[in-house]
Structure 1
């Protein structure tokens, strides 16, 4: 075999490997985007339950208007459309969802101080629905984070980083719990002392 033939064979093998790596990166990005869609479905279910909770809570929690208004505002912000192709937009969207989750936890913690609210059948149904949705969100979060780990490893390790640059595929953000939400319990006493 001539030198030209060997060079051509090496170039074809290199192009073939680059193509295989490219398809691997694109497949992993698509898996991560599919997982993000699964999270969004569950988040929409949570968004749909929040107005019912707020409406019921307003009947009983007359001194907690600010807390309920903040929850409503954060729900509206989290429900805003975002670009699924922009990792920074995804990161902002996930941060908005974390803020919404924190507000929701605060409202539910404060609701514990209102026996009439806690015992209302509709509120109990909404709370049960929220607990179910939160379980689905946690499962979707695990799937998404696993898919993002696979994608990020593919685009950050050589030669994937070069091919990802050509394909304009960037690492995606993880959907993590806020550090404060994982470590610090809600101080209901401090919330109740607010004017």
Structure 2
């Protein structure tokens, strides 16, 4: 009975080892395949750069120092790729090339003849599309690397990885300082520093009653009475304007006075 139990246990462990090992092999092949996709886009970028350099030389008196930096960075990236350097080393070389291209296009913005050159604009667009494909391939590759490395470090698959000598893969990281920089919002809200705009002032019409005041009964020879203002008391015994004077009529015979 004990031998049967041990035999069954050995069969279960063997089957588990084979399944785990085959899964490791499949994951490792997926990582290698995804890296080949990144490598194709890197090769495409390396092929576009010489055409871009020749176009700039032919159309404008461009800064030679910047061109030399781009050429040197491309040579280092191609050497790392052709010698099958580690993913980390290739990432460092591609990072230097990305920085050189960033400075190159930054200076090219100050040359109007380049901004109107159709060949230059076409190459610039192709490089931008290549950068997008490299970024997409890098995300896919790093996702497969994360899945493989997680199984290599997890138990009990770590035992199988140790016995089969399966190690963790390297991430392809291109450290872009501009992507990690904190965005600056200085000056973005400059229009709000002066406070909210003042409310429009209502202009009151001239020659009429003020807002909140109404014209009172007008007496001949006196200004119109305004509500809310004290009026002088009327003294009894004083004639009303026009009172105490005989009415004037037409002069002459038969006329009344």
Q: TM-score if structure 2 supplies the norm length?
A: 0.65
Structure 2: runs of 5+ lacking an equivalent? 183-257
Q: Measure the CA separation in 1 of the matches of 2:72 and 2:91.
A: 16
**Which of 123, 127, 142 is equivalent to 1:126?**
123
- The structure 1 residue matched to 2:108, chosen from 108, 111, 115, is 111
Give yes or no for the alignment of 1:19 onto 2:15: no
Provide the secondary structure at the position in 1 that maps to 2:172: coil
Flag structure 1 segments of 5+ consecutive residues without an equivalent: 186-195
Is the alpha carbon distance of 1:145 and 1:74 closer, same or farther for their aligned partners in structure 2, counting shifts above 3 Å? same
Aligned length: 180
**Quick one: which of 109, 129, 143 aligns to 2:140?**
143
Per-residue deviation, 1:184:
4.4
Matched-pair contact (CA < 8 Å) for 2:108–2:114: yes
Partner of 2:43: 44
Structure 1: distance between partners of 2:115 and 2:30:
40
Q: State the structure with bigger RCO (CA 8 A, min sep 6), 1 or 2.
A: 1
TM-score (norm 1): 0.85
RMSD of Structure 2 on Structure 1 (CA): 1.9
2:61 corresponds to 1:32: no
State the match for 1:57 in structure 2.
Answer: 56
Q: 2:165 aligns with which of 168, 172, 179?
A: 168
Question: How far apart, in 1, do the equivalents of 2:93 and 2:162 lie?
Answer: 28
- Residue 49 of structure 1 deviates from its aligned partner by 0.5
| 1:127–1:16 Cα change, 3 Å | same
How far did residue 181 of structure 1 move?
A: 3.5
